[in-house]
Structure 1
Amino acid sequence: MDNTLTTHAAAGLLADKVAFITGAGRGIGAAAARLFAREGARVLLAARTEAQLKTVTEEVRAAGGTADYVVCDLGDPASVRAAVDRAVDLYGRLDVAFNNGAALGPSGPMDQVPEADLDYIYAVNLKGPWLSMVAEVAAIRATAGTGAIVNTSSVGSLMGNPELPTYGAMKRAVNSLTESAAVTYGPEGIRVNAIAPGSTLTEMIRDWEADSPGVIERLNALTPLGRVADPDEIAQAAAWLLSDRASYVTGTVLRVDGGLRA
């Protein structure tokens, strides 16, 4: 690592922090892994697909960052606990966590959503963040003592969501979990917030577009900025909330939506 990179990392937004990121193999999570490392954090990437995790980890390392990965099933308590414990094993502590992993699920009216799909979306999008926060709070308590957690919600959780009813419902529940955790763990110095992205150019929205052609154009028409976000723009908001610059922010669901809900 050259002196320029060392100086940048030392002055970064997340300098000297250990960060755990779920859903880190692609999209917002992968962008967060790259950004957090550039901002000085040592990162552990978690997701289900090892090939994607390996690719992003190698990209971070090639840029001079410190990164490793662990395969993790967000619906499996043992898998989640092992992934969080791996961060402590690797880096000695846990300071911050970004719970970004999610699944989109089928689009369409709620009476047409198969029960099995509802159960799957629940396991990944609600149970997953709950399991992750429980493990992360325990790890932060036992090591760093204080820290911060950010959950990825969605602007679709802030309104009726007839096109993605199960996704919107689970994300709205994540907002409630976030607020409850902020109240519970704030006295210990553990901040908990969420971000609510608008339409973002990820594999997930491309899948939605394939399932519902024209959805990106419709969302852009409703967005004052008139475009989808780049994943890095969402990751920037998460990085700030996890950083010490947001030291008096907890229990908030921050819209990063191009003005969609303004």
Structure 2
Amino acid sequence: MNNSGNPRLEGKVTIVTGAGSGIGEVAARTFAREGAWVVLVGRREAPLRSNAEVISQAGGKAIMCSADVSSSDDVNRVVAETLDHFGQIDCVFNNAGIQGNGGPTVEMEESSFDELIAINLKGPWLMTRAVLRSMLDGGQGGAIVNTSSFLSTGATAGTSAYSASKAGLDAMIRAIALEVGDKGVRINNVNPGVIDTPMLRAHGEEIIPPLAARAALGRIGTPQDIADVAVWLCTDEARFITGQSVLVDGGFTIPGPR
């Protein structure tokens, strides 16, 4: 968290996907507080518009682009509109993701697997590919952060596809970091533990106390806990960090990543 009062991303242009709720909603506001111009991306226009209004009322600058991150046409359109509006892209937070219709592998539909991989893994890859073309052509470098998960190295029953999608992100950034590091582009993941989001609460309020009790810090995380790390990874304070998956879980996985 920046306590200096000096915006660390002044004049930087940042794309945030999944910016209508949860981690993405809070991250977009946090990027804006740090001086970034923010492009809010998601499938639902109403929450994007609401978040853009909050940012504007706080003195920030934001535009919205309704898009499906698993569609290359949509992703390319977002990048083109961002460049048309702001002229550059400096940072990306690939946060959009779903838990999908999980459950035991033998009961999971192929279509559910395909949707989950398309959004959680292909989506960040598509956005990264599109923005890299701009960053590399412009020669200004940049920073990309993806939302992975503690489940990329662990699992619970019923997360075979979800865990695979997040493990794919962890592997993906290592290769990309080697491809673009000498061009001034950094790419990292933030790997949340159990975070208080609508996605979590959809499983029922009763699961939260035992999950909180498991963490070393005695609580589940907040979207702000993750947003602060994602923003930090895009600042010059993290200038020598690339190809890394940063676990932010309050000590939840110390007994074992399950």
Q: Secondary structure at the match of 2:250?
A: coil
- 2:216 is aligned with 1:224: yes
1:1-262 alignment runs, 5 A limit: 11-143=6-138, 145-207=140-202, 209-210=203-204, 214-262=206-254
Counterpart of 2:104 in structure 1: which amino acid? P
User: 1:161, 1:38 → 2: CA distance?
Assistant: 36
Unpaired segments ≥5 residues, structure 1: 1-6
User: 1:29, 1:50 → 2: CA distance?
Assistant: 14
Moved more, 197-206 or 46-55: 197-206
Q: Are the aligned partners of 2:139 and 2:183 in contact in 1 as well (CA < 8 Å)?
A: no
Counterpart of 1:49 in structure 2: which amino acid? R
Q: Secondary structure at the match of 1:125?
A: helix
Partner of 1:3: none
User: 1:188, 1:129 → 2: CA distance?
Assistant: 20
- Cα RMSD (Å): 1.5
- % identical equivalent positions: 38
User: 1:25, 1:143 → 2: CA distance?
Assistant: 29
Q: CA deviation at 1:54?
A: 0.2
**Which of structure 1's runs of 4+ aligned residues deviate more than 6 A?**
none
Q: Are the aligned partners of 1:95 and 1:144 in contact in 2 as well (CA < 8 Å)?
A: no
Deviations 1:32-77 (A, max 9, x none): 1100000000000100000010000000000000100100111110
Unpaired segments ≥5 residues, structure 2: none
The TM-score normalised by the length of structure 1 is 0.92
Moved more, 125-134 or 139-148: 139-148
User: 2:46, 2:92 → 1: CA distance?
Assistant: 22
Counterpart of 2:172 in structure 1: which amino acid? L
Counterpart of 2:110 in structure 1: which amino acid? E
State how many pairs are aligned: 251
The TM-score normalised by the length of structure 2 is 0.93
